[in-house]
């Protein structure tokens, strides 16, 4: 048996502007206060190659990116991220807290772009083997709430420019994932105040005896 059985892979998900970045630091503080070593990372990104792919994925361009190219670039960045960052940290017994992971691909490329989900599942098996997050927290809020918050923060990137019906499909895909995997995916109501959202997150971590 591995001596690193306590290592935990936690991911944060949700549509644009629901508060993933705001709550990432809060979770890291909770983990560290309970004596856990933790790295914080994000997707797409997390490595030099991944961050370069992120820039290509999010920047505006006159040339329309095909949905398949978008999907493959997400998984190319992920392959690098797992090999160079996520798996080494888990193997060293650290917690990994990741802002988005493969559930985002099911939600955005599967739900939003309406790509065949079996393509995503095949890539997930290929790139990740058995690796799945131990806990995924979906911050759930109506699309209008997330977009209003995100709009106050910065100008929309290539994906954020999609219309509300795209994000409604993304949100519904996230909620379906939570129903399919209640053992490892939970939702919190992110439409509430930051303090109320953090109280729900803390409760989820306590219920799973992570903190």
**Minimum CB distance to ligand T5A, residue 129 (Å):** 18
Told to check if 80 binds ligand T5A by CB under 6 A, we report no
Task: Please choose, out of 29-37, 61-69, 101-109, 122-130, the segment that lies near ligand T5A by the rule CB under 6 A.
Answer: 101-109
Distance CA 209, CA 211 (A): 5
Instruction: Kindly tell me which residue out of 3, 35, 118, 153 binds ligand T5A, with binding defined by CB under 6 A.
Output: 153
Told to check if 99 binds ligand T5A by CB under 6 A, we report yes
Told to check if 111 binds ligand T5A by CB under 6 A, we report no
- Between CA 31 and CA 58, with CA 184 as vertex, the angle to 5 degrees is 80
Nearest to 105 by CA among 91, 97, 116: 116
Which residues in 8-37 contact ligand T5A (CB under 6 A)? 14, 16-22
Told to check if 138 binds ligand T5A by CB under 6 A, we report no
Told to check if 61 binds ligand T5A by CB under 6 A, we report no
DSSP letter (8 states) at residue 108: I
Told to check if 66 binds ligand T5A by CB under 6 A, we report no
Tokens standing for residue 116: 């065949």
78-94: burial string, b at 16+ Cβ within 10 Å, e else: bbbbbeebbbebbeeeb
Residues, the chain = 211
DSSP letter (8 states) at residue 107: I
Q: What is the largest CA-CA distance in the chain?
A: 52
Q: By the criterion CB under 6 A, which residues form the site for ligand T5A?
A: 14, 16-22, 43-44, 74, 99-100, 104-105, 108-109, 149-150, 152-153, 159-160, 190, 193-194, 197
């Amino acid at each position: 048996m591995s001596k690193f059985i306590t290592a935990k892979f936690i991911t944060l998900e949700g549509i644009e502007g629901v508060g993933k970045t705001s709550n990432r630091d809060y979770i890291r503080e909770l983990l560290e206060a309970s004596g856990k070593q933790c790295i914080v990372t994000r997707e797409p990104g997390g490595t030099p190659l991944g961050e370069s792919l992120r820039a290509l994925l999010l920047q505006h361009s006159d040339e329309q990116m095909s949905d398949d190219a978008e999907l493959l670039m997400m998984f190319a960045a992920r392959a690098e991220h797992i090999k160079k960052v996520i798996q080494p940290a888990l193997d060293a017994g650290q917690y990994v807290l990741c802002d988005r992971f493969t559930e985002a691909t099911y939600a955005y490329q599967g739900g939003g772009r309406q790509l065949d989900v079996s393509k995503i599942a095949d890539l997930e098996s290929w790139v990740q083997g058995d690796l799945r997050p131990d806990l995924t927290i979906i911050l759930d809020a109506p699309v209008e709430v997330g977009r209003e918050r995100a709009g106050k923060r910065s100008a929309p990137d290539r994906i954020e420019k999609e219309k509300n019906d795209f994000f409604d499909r993304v949100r519904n895909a996230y909620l379906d994932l939570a129903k399919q995997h209640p053992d490892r995916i939970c939702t919190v109501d992110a439409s509430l105040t930051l303090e109320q959202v953090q109280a729900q997150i803390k409760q989820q971590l306590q219920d799973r005896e992570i903190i």
